[in-house]
A and B are shown apart, each in its own frame.
Chain A
């Protein structure tokens, strides 16, 4: 069966520090992969998505970046965190008919 792992579950980072959130998928090949951010009480904002290794589409600019070094690995990064980067980050994978989500990472930038 397919599973998705996302870690860490909770993260507190100071302003200006780097960020690396990792997501891996098991049990499927060549999935579409997505990173979303959910601010408190708000909707899911699509940040990045990828249809294959090294292929990244960006929906939001600036402070965040994403990479897909392996077929089933998706990484969200930042070189210098801002206070506005705080939120709940969700990784997801899909094969068109359904999307499966990780447990999410609650990031607090202090």
Chain B
């Protein structure tokens, strides 16, 4: 079975600072994808960043980057130069083509202090 664990329910960061959100996962598959999604108060789910498990290079999207540690099954999200608009709930997710199952963690609520 595949599971995604986000152990921190809440985090806070000062505007313009950097914050790292943690995520670990468990899977028996060798080919899978990992995602971070953002859910603002509107409840709309927004893809932040994606990582293919077969790629060793960490994905980067502007101020967002990941630290993908495949052996440790860890997938953390780093947000640099935090902005007020980054305040939201963030979900880590795992997808495997073997069964097409897309599993999310419990999410973490990020607040940004002005």
A→B interface (CB under 8 Å): 32, 34, 36, 41-44, 46, 49, 51, 57, 88, 90, 92, 94, 96-99, 101, 103-104
In the bound assembly, the distance between CA atoms of A96 and B97 in angstroms comes to 7
Task: Select the residue from B43, B103, B104, B105 with max chain A CB neighbours within 10 A.
Answer: B104
State how many angstroms separate the Cβ of A105 from the closest Cβ of chain B: 10
Residue of B nearest to A34 (CB): B102
What total of A-B pairs shows CB separation below 8 Å? 53
* Main secondary structure on A side of the interface with B: strand
Determine if B50 and A49 form an interchain contact, defined as CB atoms under 8 angstroms apart. no
How many residues from B make CB contacts under 8 Å with A?
A: 23
* Main secondary structure on B side of the interface with A: strand
Contacts of B37 in A (CB 8 A): 99
Residue of A nearest to B43 (CB): A104
B35 contacts the other chain (Cβ, under 8 Å)? yes
Partner of A32, one of B45, B100, B105: B100
- In the complex, given contacts A57-B99, A96-B95, A99-B37, what are 14 additional A-B residue pairs having Cβ atoms less than 8 angstroms apart? A36-B104, A42-B107, A43-B6, A49-B101, A92-B102, A96-B97, A97-B50, A98-B47, A99-B45, A99-B47, A99-B102, A101-B44, A101-B45, A103-B43
